[in-house]
Structure 1
């Protein structure tokens, strides 16, 4: 039976932490994109939690956290077995577990609500226990909470926007109990906060990830509410609006939460994935509008640099890279592209010279990818944003599961979320049925 291995809610000595994670690699089942501060699942995941956008006329029409049975010996394997509705549609987007993994925090982009689910009491049936509905007020004007990233005893909430709907964003901290702690605004040209600026500081935000042993946090950039809530077709015809997208990543001093360097990364860098190796001081991101793979790395002199390292598909065709997943051994990177519904696998054993080794069309549209720590199971979802998903027959809404043998993806199961009247599946997280014990 899978178990939850508790991780101390304090920053571990980095070399010890990294060595521990890697030495136990094959035993872990958890996603490779998780926070290093978070408790990890050992054994094979029992459930996949899917944060799902509601669709008018499908079921109750509300956003919901859907539990999918991933136990291969179960009579309901590969099927949705529970849905915890939050009431209404809030543009369900990203979320994450607290460091002790007892709660799952899920964010709504449209009205800045954060929904907190108890997953410890019954992991097969997460239960909504709290709603944070004053995020904008408490944060001092941040809006559009993008997700939740576990820190020791706290949750880090990157925002995409602010109360004015523009792009300047913030990092907002809450306690695990849901109490507001602090707001850290992203640097701009007018308010750099002491950061060195390579080209410009646009203030946009998106993802936030920490490399504890180097005391650094990296953030990426997207766009403001005035853009991400518009229909994609209208937005792409608006030349001025298309200029209002992120072109930067920020390297922060993690302990002080002070920005150190604003890196020039044009083309809208989205998801950030730090390497796990104890001597690997680098991260990958992909740029949505230029279809490039970027490496952010520490050079021999201790300075942090960002550089393009590979094309993703044909950039001229605008495949729109969205999500990426780095394997636990830092050797392979899965990259999803929304417009052509394709996942590509890159050999990144030399992070400065990635090379594509495989590709597969998953569906008419494709968004997120979650990979198990042992690298043997891969999960995909389809929805990007309610106003950006395709229409008509190409509006496929699915969760698909595959096995990966190092050479090809082999189908395990697929769920049509429209046929199941559940909505638009966005992000995924893994769950376990065992008690939360050491």
Structure 2
């Protein structure tokens, strides 16, 4: 009984305290069946270098349904529970909440009592999500002081286009779906990622597209006509209302992952843009708040790579080049390094961002890529390229997988994207090195997407107190 009344030791008041915590020994990786011929799964991976099974799958939890399409997922609770506004002081980082982006089904997976052999605690069917929220296609999961926030990519109707997508709340103890988060939506009509600065009381969200624009693959006509998302939205977090939009320009298609600074005294963050339709380049933008208003500026550009048309999929042959296709970004807990996954060119970039308005390229590795097709250092063919990225709390290790979304994988990598998970080591002053001894092979029947680390990671926790 006493143990249940103690604060979870994996919750940390500040980013610096989290960086000093014990290193991860287990990673949980979402696996999807690209053709829905088998259930999606959650893999448990050994990431302890002292272990005899380092870099291997220790266990795989198969789901009871097919066709879910696992994408992003998150913990039921994190360091945000330490907020003075929290009513859940004795929650534990115990459950993983895993949405199916295609089925709109949500799984609650219990990692206790044995973290290596998690079990399914509850399944929330899509009918319940739709009935209580009007939303479909659940995507990003974040734990806040008062519960779970889940963003969606679709509204009601078979095609998810009846009403705009948004965010809904779920009870973090009972896992009951509560309802829509928004009180005043404003002009927001598309959704993708979201995150916040809790003490500063604002949330930021981004845009991808509506379900018909991604579920069957990228729609080239919509992309060239600039019909995908290109705005950032800022919200009053406690008031649950929209306060400002910033249009990055219609040519900056698909503003995806948002990464606010971890240090709560810093009012800035980053967003990655997949492609500029005028020149195929990708970009990183910095947003900040000044005088009560948010602003955004393009602060880094990643050019396309010229390529022989014979090496390109049909979608790109006419361009004679490979776009970087920035599909994920992640920020180290000390707000020093921003990692940028260029899924198209097969590059993982590391930017030094201590000056957030002037990112400086500090490191880079290549593996996979549409035209490069760089093998892993151990000689293994690597389909796809660096995609979902996760950083250890101490900032010394960067894990990544290689699948974007099943239909998009097939369009850009027609030879297939067998599920892989790789690891980079980070130099003390920057720089990246691929670990030749770490390459997790999930097999040809699975794509590998988001990673969650035991005890928390750099895209999990929200901090309520500044570092001393």
Q: Normalised by the size of structure 1, how large is the TM-score?
A: 0.82
- Secondary structure at the aligned position of 1:387 is classed as helix
Tell me which of 131, 135, 139 is aligned to 1:138. Answer: 131
TM-superposition CA deviations, 1:331-383 (whole Å, max 9, x none) = 21110011112111111111111122222113232311100121111101011
- Secondary structure at the aligned position of 2:58 is classed as strand
Summarize the Cα distance change of 1:119–1:399 in structure 2 as closer, same or farther, 3 Å threshold: same
| Matching of residues 97-246 of structure 1 within 5 Å | 97-99=75-77, 100-133=92-125, 134-164=127-157, 165-166=160-161, 168-176=164-172, 177-184=174-181, 193=184, 195=186, 201-232=187-218, 235-236=219-220, 238-239=221-222, 243-246=226-229
2:9 corresponds to 1:5: yes
TM-superposition CA deviations, 1:288-322 (whole Å, max 9, x none) = 122111111011x1211112111023398421101
Q: How far apart, in 2, do the equivalents of 1:135 and 1:288 lie? A: 33
Structure 1 position 135, deviation (Å): 4.3
Unpaired runs of 5+ in structure 1? 9-16, 28-41, 187-192, 196-200, 434-438
Structure 1 position 265, deviation (Å): 2.5
1:369 maps to 389
Structure 1 position 153, deviation (Å): 4.2
Structure 1 position 263, deviation (Å): 1.6
2:375 corresponds to 1:383: no
1:404–1:410: 8 Å Cα contact kept in structure 2?
no
1:169–1:185: 8 Å Cα contact kept in structure 2?
no
Tell me which of 447, 451, 454 is aligned to 1:428. Answer: 451
Tell me which of 24, 47, 57 is aligned to 1:45. Answer: 24
Q: How far apart, in 2, do the equivalents of 1:357 and 1:76 lie? A: 32
Superposition RMSD in Å: 2.4
| Matching of residues 281-300 of structure 1 within 5 Å | 281-290=267-276, 291-299=282-290
| Matching of residues 396-407 of structure 1 within 5 Å | 396-405=418-427, 406-407=430-431
Tell me which of 428, 439, 443 is aligned to 1:418. Answer: 443
Structure 1 position 141, deviation (Å): 1.9
1:36 maps to none
2:151–2:166: 8 Å Cα contact kept in structure 1?
yes
Tell me which of 49, 68, 74 is aligned to 1:72. Answer: 49
Q: Normalised by the size of structure 2, how large is the TM-score?
A: 0.77
2:195–2:259: 8 Å Cα contact kept in structure 1?
yes
- Tell me the number of residue pairs that the alignment of Structure 1 and Structure 2 aligns: 387
1:330–1:348: 8 Å Cα contact kept in structure 2?
yes
Moved >3 Å (runs of 4+)? 239-244, 313-317, 390-394
2:295 maps to 305
